[in-house]
Amino acid sequence: MAAPHIASGALVEVMQDWKHPAIPIHVVYPPNRHLSARVRAFVEWAAEVFAKVDAAPAAPAKAGPARAPVEAA
């Protein structure tokens, strides 16, 4: 989502070495011998989407504009 803005220089990463921990996501549905096609399609789609998010590499670091040091108040 932010990668294009980081690449264009509109956003600058400030914590380049930090990566958020993975957050488990669960799809819960009632046990049933005959899972509906809609629920099965949703579960497969969600698994695919979140697998891509977890596997996506972080955006490459890009040097931002020079900034003056911030003085503590």
Tell which residue, 33, 49, 32, has the closest CA to residue 41.
49
Tokens of 9: 């220089």
Residue at 64 is within a domain: no
Do the domain assignments include residue 52? yes
Q: Residue 67 domain-assigned?
A: no
Residue 37 is assigned to a structural domain of this protein? yes
- Rounded CA-CA distance 7/4 in Å is 5
**21-30 tens-digit pLDDT:** 777 888 888 8
| Interatomic CA distance for residues 23 and 14, integer angstroms | 22
pLDDT for residue 8: 93
Residue 69 included in any domain: no
pLDDT for res 73: 53
Domain count, the chain: 1
Domain that holds residue 38: 32-57
Answer yes or no: is 53 within a domain: yes
- Place 10 in a pLDDT band, splitting at 50, 70 and 90: very high
In the chain, % of residues over pLDDT 70: 73
Residues 6+ apart with CB under 8 A from 6: 12, 13, 59, 62
